[in-house]
Each structure stands twice: as structure tokens, then as C-alpha cells.
Chains A and B, each alone.
Chain A
């Protein structure tokens, strides 16, 4: 086994975004010039010896923000603290300038869509949204409920029992219940779970429309592509820490600076390794039993390069597979920084 290491480039943060565990030390600037609707100041939450959220600080104004992170990153814990259902173990959580924990009156301005799928199965969709409207003390619960149901595109099914709904429909009726009182802040935990592509697009458009009308929306997801299509701003949590925050495109650009891992199988791996090492875009080549493990800084350039190099070296390519395209591997990279 041969390892040919070369120096690894270090991404340089841009003013529009920040990367790394130090993001909480240097808090993200407010997304909008207005006063932040959501603010966390050095917040931590632990359960016994387990730290779920660790020293997280950020501020959010009007707009859509995606909360990204692999499973177990602390996204739900963070959203539950913002929704007032968990007290921070340290630090301060503020929603519209108030601490949400043990303050039910804050729910006049907060809408919450929890991750758990269960919704009262015996109620019809419209009844469920009316139930929310009545508990919010709205003057016209019927009218508000019908408007919210229409907003999520459930009019055709609103008189059916929720127990007969698909997973995607249940998600939408939960969203209708959360926005029936037109809250200033909307918190959604994995809102796209169970939705088909058409429903996802509809929900993404709705969130964008709400943000345009001056609402602050924070939604969690572990799927990068979902966030990419909705949020202009993102927060990335990894193992309870804020690993990156800011403008999505800027962070994405920083992420592409990381070395990409590619696995190659060919007719002569050793000869191909020697040929590849001549190119400066290749950081490391490792001969393994399953083929060549390559580290490169530019995946797109590498894809163009590999065809020419293999042809020149007289090596036939059998397989070229990116080995670290998952979001989790990107996060792991962020955490290691």
C-alpha cells in the first residue's frame, strides 16, 4: 500500500459566510438589517453527560433559513429550545426579544411544525386547523382555517379524517395548523419528510412566499438539496456545534474547496497512480485492495483530467466513484477543521 500525501488546502471564509466550529465564537451577522427575530447567545443544552447543543450563537431576521445537520446533530433540540419546549442549560434563547421557555403567550407569534408525524387521526384536516385557530383565540376560526388549508393545497382533502392522509398530507396539515394565526416566526422540523416532489415544490414556494411577506422561517433538514432550493441562508450543526453559517452559496463555495475523495478501479492501478501524481490537482493517491483512493481539490477538473491521463498511460478505466458526496461527509470535514 502506497500513500503519497500532498498539502491540504484550507478554505478561506468569506464575509457572507463562516465555516467551522469557531462560528459560535464569532457569531453570524444578522441576515436582515432589522432586529433579529431569533437570537441565540452561547446556548448549550445537555442531557446528563450528553451534550446535544454546544455553545451556539446566531441571530436571524426576516427570511428563510435552513438548519442543516446530520442525524443527531442537535437540530431538533435547537428547535425545541426556540419553541419554548426545552430550557437551555446555558446561554440565552430569545424569540422576538423574549425568552420562550415557560411563556405560553409567545405562541401568539410562533408557529411550530414538529418532526413527529402524529396528528389527531380522528379529526378532519379542516377540524384540526380550526382546533388550532380556536386555541389561538382567533375571531374567525372557520375563515382562518379555510384560508390556511387552501394555502397548503389541502382543500380537496380537508373534510377527510387525518388518519386517512398520506405522510405528505399530514405534513401539510401540520403546516396549516402552524400558520393559521399568521405567526411572525415559523419553526419547522423536517417539514419535507414524506412529501412527493410536487408537494415539496409547493411547500418550498409557500415558505418563500411567507418569507417575502416579512416572516422569519427556520426549518431543519438533513438533505442539502432541499435547503438549497428554499433557503438563501443556512446554519450547519454538527455534533451540537455550529459548523457553518451564512449565505448558502458562499458556504457551498467554501465546501468545494475541500479535497474530494474518489475511488477508481482500472486495468492497472499502479501505473495510473504514477500518471495521476504528475498533476498538481491531485493531493494524494493511495493503492488499496479495492482500487485507487484519490484526493483532489477540484472534482470537475479531475473528471476531465482522468480520461486523458488514463488514455495516455494506456490504462483502461473500470469505475470512477466519488467517495464522499454525502452531506454527512462534508460535515465531518467541517468538524475536523
Chain B
């Protein structure tokens, strides 16, 4: 069996694992929120792209939904298996560790994009598409933002979950404190903010920034995102090669 088939098998089992959790149902419900708000805006006759972008995409999708979903799936791709010990069934196999990491990351990113991307696309089409070309551009920019954000958050916190069982807590702390508070107060740390990478990457199509100031230009955002993703995957592979099981009580 070749590497692609093994990759597919790990992705398949990881997706079933992630989909089987109760928290996934909650995330699906949370992902429906932007769509419901968009419908409410639309029914209320609201067609102002700026207002929609600012009020729903920025405050709900980019600030809460995207990081929460991607961090949960990223940290959960390995975390749950490490916690319950089933990771041993995966690692006691003659397969290269980079392949395991790549498959796990792919599954986590796919889940995150499926939820946040679909939510963003549908909400955007409901409210922004009627606004013409600018509206379509804004929708595409939003989708680019959630794709870039999904990959960065998921891969970063997947890697972190190999080092600590508190990856989820750290992720939520990062989301609320670093990105929610500090990055807007201290522009200097924008280069270390996945949220700013998402806005920066999207700005190649449309400026999604609330105050119209893009702290990280598009090319820099793509570059930093790429560096983050590659570095995280390399570190995760390195860590998985050194993965140790506890001795147990016996």
C-alpha cells in the first residue's frame, strides 16, 4: 500500500473521530450563527457591505468562530488519542511520522474549512452577493481569510497538542488575550497574530479590516503563514518521532 492510501486511511479515521464528538455538534451549531445573522440582516433590508463585514464577519467569524473551530479540531486531532491511549495503534506501525502528521493536519484543516468556510460562504452570499462585484469580492476575501486562518490555527495547535495536554486552554487564551485584546492595542505584535495573517491575506482581494488598516500586507501575510505552517509541521514530525508512552502503573 502506498503512502497516499495510508494517508487516506489516517484521514478517514481522524475525520470519524472528530465528527463523533459532541463538541463537533456544538461547533456546527455555532457555525450556523453567521448564516442566521446574515438572513436576519437581509430580511431587515440591510445591504451595507461595510456594516455587514464589520458586524458579523469580523466580530463573529474572525474573532470567535474561526479560531475556536480551528483550535478545537487542531488540538483534538492528536490530543484525544494521546489522552485515551489509542495513539499507540497509529504509531506502532511502520509508517513515516511526517505522513501521520500530514494526515492529521489535513483532517483537522478540512474539518475547520468545511465548517467555517461553508458558514462564511453562505452568509456572504445571502447578504453580500446582491451588492454586485464588490459584494462578490468581499465574499471571496472572507473565504480566503477563513482558509488561511483555518490552516494556521489548526496546524499550530495540532503541534502544540504534542507537547502539552493543555493545548486547547492555551489556544483559547491565545485567541482571547493575544488576538482579542493585545493585537489590537499593540500593532507591533501583528506579525505574530494569525488573525492579522487572515485579514492580510484576504486584503489581496478585498480590505476586510474594520478600520481599513491592514496591519500585515498580503504578501507578508502569505509568507508568514507559510513559514508558520511549515515550521509547525516540521516540529510536529520531530516531536512525534520522539513520542513516548508513559510507563503506566505496572
Residues of A within 8 A of B (CB): 45, 47, 52, 69, 71-77, 80, 83-87, 102, 104-108, 110, 112, 114-116, 118-123, 131-132, 134-139, 141, 177, 189-190, 220, 222
A115 lies within 8 A of B1 (CB) = no
Which residue of the partner chain, among A110, A116, A134, contacts B85 with CB atoms under 8 Å? A116
The dominant DSSP class at the B interface is loop
B94 lies within 8 A of A106 (CB) = yes
Query: Given A87-B244, A104-B96, A106-B94: A134 and B250 within 8 A (CB)?
Result: no
Rounded to whole angstroms, the CA-CA distance of A73 and B249 in the bound complex is: 8
Selected interface stretch from B9-17, B23-31, B144-152, B177-185: B9-17
Is B92 an interface residue when CB atoms closer than 8 A count as contact? Answer: yes
Closest beta carbon of chain B to A29's beta carbon, Å: 26
- Number of B residues near A (Cβ < 8 Å) is 32
Rounded to whole angstroms, the CA-CA distance of A115 and B1 in the bound complex is: 29
Rounded to whole angstroms, the CA-CA distance of A139 and B241 in the bound complex is: 26
Rounded to whole angstroms, the CA-CA distance of A230 and B159 in the bound complex is: 43
Is B97 an interface residue when CB atoms closer than 8 A count as contact? Answer: yes
Residues of A within 8 Å of B241, CB to CB, are: 102
A131 lies within 8 A of B249 (CB) = no
B17 lies within 8 A of A102 (CB) = no
Residues of A within 8 Å of B91, CB to CB, are: 85, 104
Query: Given A102-B241, A123-B13, A131-B9: A136 and B247 within 8 A (CB)?
Result: no
Is B95 an interface residue when CB atoms closer than 8 A count as contact? Answer: yes
Closest beta carbon of chain B to A129's beta carbon, Å: 11
A141 lies within 8 A of B247 (CB) = no
By Cβ-Cβ distance, the 4 closest A-B pairs, closest first, are A76-B248, A77-B247, A116-B85, A118-B84
A104 lies within 8 A of B243 (CB) = no
Query: Given A120-B17, A134-B6, A138-B1: A115 and B248 within 8 A (CB)?
Result: yes
Closest beta carbon of chain B to A115's beta carbon, Å: 6
Query: Given A104-B94, A119-B89, A123-B16: A135 and B250 within 8 A (CB)?
Result: no
Query: Given A112-B88, A116-B84, A120-B17: A76 and B93 within 8 A (CB)?
Result: no
Rounded to whole angstroms, the CA-CA distance of A85 and B89 in the bound complex is: 12
The dominant DSSP class at the A interface is loop
Rounded to whole angstroms, the CA-CA distance of A107 and B93 in the bound complex is: 5
Rounded to whole angstroms, the CA-CA distance of A23 and B91 in the bound complex is: 33
B86 lies within 8 A of A107 (CB) = no
B88 lies within 8 A of A134 (CB) = no
Residues of A within 8 Å of B94, CB to CB, are: 104-108, 136-137
Which residue of the partner chain, among B6, B9, B84, B244, contacts A86 with CB atoms under 8 Å? B244
Is B132 an interface residue when CB atoms closer than 8 A count as contact? Answer: no
Which residue of the partner chain, among B6, B10, B92, contacts A83 with CB atoms under 8 Å? B92
CB<8 Å pairs between A and B, sample of 20: A71-B250, A75-B250, A85-B88, A104-B96, A114-B88, A115-B250, A118-B85, A120-B17, A120-B89, A122-B17, A131-B9, A131-B13, A134-B1, A134-B6, A135-B6, A135-B90, A135-B93, A136-B93, A137-B1, A177-B89
Query: Given A107-B92, A131-B9: A76 and B17 within 8 A (CB)?
Result: no
Which residue of the partner chain, among A47, A108, A116, contacts B247 with CB atoms under 8 Å? A47
Rounded to whole angstroms, the CA-CA distance of A320 and B96 in the bound complex is: 61
Closest partner residue, chain A, to B16 (CB atom): A122
Closest partner residue, chain A, to B88 (CB atom): A114
Closest partner residue, chain A, to B243 (CB atom): A85
Residues of B within 8 Å of A47, CB to CB, are: 247
Which residue of the partner chain, among B85, B89, B250, contacts A132 with CB atoms under 8 Å? B89
Residues of A within 8 Å of B250, CB to CB, are: 69, 71-77, 115, 189-190, 220, 222
B residues 63-91 touching A (CB-CB < 8 Å): 84-86, 88-91
A114 lies within 8 A of B1 (CB) = no
Closest beta carbon of chain B to A274's beta carbon, Å: 45
Residues of B within 8 Å of A108, CB to CB, are: 94
Residues of A within 8 Å of B17, CB to CB, are: 120, 122
Which residue of the partner chain, among B242, B245, B247, contacts A102 with CB atoms under 8 Å? B242
Rounded to whole angstroms, the CA-CA distance of A104 and B89 in the bound complex is: 12
Closest partner residue, chain B, to A105 (CB atom): B94
Is B5 an interface residue when CB atoms closer than 8 A count as contact? Answer: yes
A77 lies within 8 A of B86 (CB) = no
Rounded to whole angstroms, the CA-CA distance of A137 and B20 in the bound complex is: 26
A85 lies within 8 A of B245 (CB) = yes
Which residue of the partner chain, among B93, B95, B96, B248, contacts A77 with CB atoms under 8 Å? B248
- Name 8 extra pairs, CB < 8 A, besides A52-B247, A122-B17: A76-B248, A80-B248, A87-B244, A116-B84, A120-B17, A120-B86, A132-B93, A134-B6
